Amino acid sequence: MSTIAVIDYDMGNLHSVCKGLEKAGAVPKITDSPTEIEKADAVILPGVGSFDPAVQHLRSRHLETPIKQVIASGKPFLGICLGLQILFESSEEGKEPGLGIFPGKVRRFKSEPGLTIPQMGWNQLELTQPQHLLWSEIGSQPWVYFVHSYYVDPIESQVKAATVTHGHQTVTAAVGQNNLMAVQFHPEKSSTIGLKILSNFVSKVIPQHLAFAV
């Protein structure tokens, strides 16, 4: 079985993510050890909370370099919610620099009449990379669960894997580039569709795992 490191930096609902991975056939390992992150077949960076504390916690645990090394190595990597946002350069939510994996900024939803901020609940994705591995067999406009007041604004539009419309604002809901994937919504809270998305991620891991086992 494939081992997936779930990074622990005190900013995520780790156990819900792990349950979803177990149902998808993977072996999740909650860890903040750079060595265990390096040894894993794939890595997930979850996150719930605010931008500045998140990057501060990562850096205090000396995890910034291991995360960048894992991504550069080509191993499958999935960011979830805040774990998507801190992959960008900066955020309107705080002053700390992000990891800068993706050029761009995290922005707050603009207020408009009748708009609820944060966006909390189910919404439909518009798939802008419809052939992306994560979206295999989930339909063209799947419903997923969001809880967020901020969204990522990539400079390079081609990395957008999905968008979502909240009020009159259409924003990035997922990014994808080679081995690196990240989503603003919570797949672990998105019922059957979310479980399928996690299963699709696991399916990218298993061939590598088996190849090393041969």
- How far is Cα 55 from Cα 131, in angstroms, rounded to an integer? 31
β-pairing, 169-177 vs 160-166, is: antiparallel
188 annotated active-site: yes
Please say if 186 is a catalytic residue: yes
Along the 214 residues of the chain, how does pLDDT read in single tens digits? Answer: 679 999 999 887 798 899 989 988 889 999 999 999 999 999 999 999 999 999 999 999 999 999 999 999 999 999 999 999 999 999 999 999 999 999 999 999 999 999 999 999 999 999 999 999 999 999 989 999 999 999 999 999 999 999 999 999 999 999 999 999 999 999 999 999 999 999 999 998 865 444 333 3
Cα distances from 160 to residues 43, 66, 93, 129, in angstroms, run: 20, 24, 21, 7
User: Which of 18, 57, 148, 188 is labelled catalytic?
Assistant: 188
The DSSP call for residue 151 is E
**For residue 208, what is the enclosing H or E element?**
helix 191-213
Reply yes or no on whether 18 is catalytic.
no
* Nearest-angstrom CA–CA distance, 3 and 26: 6
From 57, 81, 148, 166, the catalytic residue: 81
**Total-model pTM:** 0.94
Strands (E), the chain: 3-7, 27-31, 42-45, 77-80, 88-91, 102-108, 119-127, 143-148, 150-154, 160-166, 169-177, 180-183
Q: What is the DSSP letter of 100?
A: -
CA 161/CA 125 separation, integer angstroms: 10
* Alpha carbons 213 and 168: distance in angstroms, whole number: 50
Fold that domain 3-213 belongs to in CATH:
Rossmann fold (3.40.50)
